[in-house]
């Protein structure tokens, strides 16, 4: 054996038992969550259901709900209180650590905010104003736009979920307005024995287009889908499990399909404004009288030239003998279903926020959440908003390294 070290006598080289070193981990954080009543006349959804509230309260979090916040989705105050929510006034709700709301905050609601609060709501970028963004920055809050949140699969879960609902609901709406019950031309959207099926043209092979196609095919209608992406068209057919009429957006093919269509659903999405309309007014004028157009792209200006934004008080108008339905938030029409879908997305995020110890750790660990952040501690982190309003923005990753 080797020579013993003169610096370590035998008595000091024996292996002695030591205390076990355990990972202490981060301390979980109990948070308060405020859900104000939506002030928008045409917004019926609520971001958390009583079941979501129950799950959060069982994990030690406190939920403050403004009275009547869920009424329009048929979730009432007693439903929430039985699941652990505290029914409060608006001023109390806005004292919570996290403010969770469907529509974007109004200027009056932003006045209630305090520094370092987390605000989760619809960003609605193309309908947003510079003054609102600056107001949020001045309040030094952490703002998350839920339509730009991503999940572990690099998808936008809220957008996808609402698109599924809107796609299916658009076929239901088309069916209603083709019937005589809504002064339509009395056509059944679908097909029955011995009668040629009605025709539905869908613009866009994304999620909304796919679920519109599913619903229409289930009714027996003839479905034609147009999109600029050959890959999306092929993926659509694979998801549907059957061959249907698909085409790229060739003007002659599209015009011919529109002339024979009973209903048209526009679900094309654009990343930037300034796009050209995919269906011109001239093409609309050649459509059959009494047919219907449902434009699901109204939050971005629409994809049909004759479209103009409507609301639930007056959802339709007639142009060239064609009914136009251009309400921007169709998912709110089936608000209970949409609210359950939103709650299924937000509840795990809020639970995770508590587990990791706060918003800062959540942003560091969840890339999808960091993608949804557009203001962090009063600093703008979304370059699209910055470019649009000429406000300097910083990368959220660099900010995380600094804080």
Domain that holds residue 256: 163-326
Give the residue, 259 or 277, on which the prediction is more confident: 259
Select which of 124, 135, 275, 320 is catalytic: 124
What is the spatial distance between Cα 239 and Cα 242, in angstroms, rounded to a whole number? 8
Asked if residue 45 belongs to a domain, the reply is yes
Asked if residue 205 belongs to a domain, the reply is yes
Which of 291, 326, 361 marks a domain boundary?
A: 326
Same domain, yes or no, for 184 and 296? yes
Asked if residue 14 belongs to a domain, the reply is no
pTM equals 0.88
Same domain, yes or no, for 79 and 124? yes
Any idea what the CATH number is for the domain that residue 320 is in? 3.40.50.720
Residue 231 appears among annotated catalytic residues: no
Same domain, yes or no, for 294 and 171? yes
Same domain, yes or no, for 110 and 236? no
Could you report the per-residue pLDDT of 18-65, keeping only the tens digit for each?
555 544 455 688 999 999 999 888 899 999 999 999 999 999 999 999
Could you report the per-residue pLDDT of 239-274, keeping only the tens digit for each?
999 999 999 999 999 999 999 999 999 998 754 445
Asked if residue 314 belongs to a domain, the reply is yes
Same domain, yes or no, for 208 and 299? yes
Same domain, yes or no, for 318 and 341? no
Same domain, yes or no, for 248 and 348? no
pLDDT of residue 9: 46
Same domain, yes or no, for 121 and 180? no
Could you report the per-residue pLDDT of 350-369, keeping only the tens digit for each?
999 999 999 999 999 999 99
């Amino acid at each position: 054996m080797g020579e013993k070290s003169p610096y370590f006598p035998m008595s000091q080289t024996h292996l002695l038992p030591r205390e076990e070193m355990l990972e202490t981990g981060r301390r979980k954080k109990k948070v308060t969550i405020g859900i104000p009543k939506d002030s928008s006349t045409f917004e019926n959804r609520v971001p958390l259901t009583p079941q979501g509230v129950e799950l959060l309260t069982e994990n030690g979090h406190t939920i403050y709900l403004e009275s009547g916040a869920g009424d329009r989705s048929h979730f009432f105050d007693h439903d929430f209180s039985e699941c652990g929510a505290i029914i409060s006034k608006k001023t109390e709700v806005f004292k919570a650590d996290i403010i969770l709301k469907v529509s974007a905050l109004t200027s009056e609601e932003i006045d209630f905010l305090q520094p370092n609060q987390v605000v989760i709501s619809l960003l609605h970028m193309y309908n947003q104003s510079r003054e609102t963004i600056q107001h949020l920055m001045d309040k030094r809050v952490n703002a998350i736009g839920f339509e730009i949140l991503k999940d572990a699969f690099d998808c936008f879960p809220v957008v996808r979920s609402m698109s599924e609902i809107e796609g299916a609901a658009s076929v239901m709406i088309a069916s209603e307005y083709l019937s005589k019950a809504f002064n339509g031309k009395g056509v059944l959207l679908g097909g029955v024995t011995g009668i040629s099926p009605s025709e539905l043209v869908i613009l866009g092979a994304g999620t909304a287009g796919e679920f519109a196609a599913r619903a229409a095919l289930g009714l027996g209608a003839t479905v034609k889908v147009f999109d600029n992406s050959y890959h999306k068209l092929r993926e659509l057919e694979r998801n549907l499990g059957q061959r249907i009429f698909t085409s790229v957006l060739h003007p002659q093919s599209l015009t011919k399909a529109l002339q024979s269509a009973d209903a048209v659903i526009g679900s094309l999405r654009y990343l930037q404004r300034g796009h050209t309309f995919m269906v011109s007014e001239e093409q609309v004028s050649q459509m059959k009288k009494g047919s219907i157009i449902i434009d699901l792209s109204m939050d971005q200006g629409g994809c049909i030239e004759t479209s103009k934004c409507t609301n639930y008080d007056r959802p339709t108008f007639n142009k060239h003998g064609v009914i136009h339905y251009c309400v921007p938030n169709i998912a709110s029409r089936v608000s209970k279903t949409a609210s359950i879908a939103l709650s299924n997305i937000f509840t795990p995020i809020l639970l995770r926020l508590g587990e990791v110890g706060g918003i800062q750790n959540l942003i560091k660990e969840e890339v999808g959440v960091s993608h949804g952040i557009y203001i962090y501690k009063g600093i703008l982190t979304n370059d699209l908003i910055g470019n649009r309003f000429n406000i300097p923005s910083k990368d959220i990753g660099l900010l995380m390294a600094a804080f």
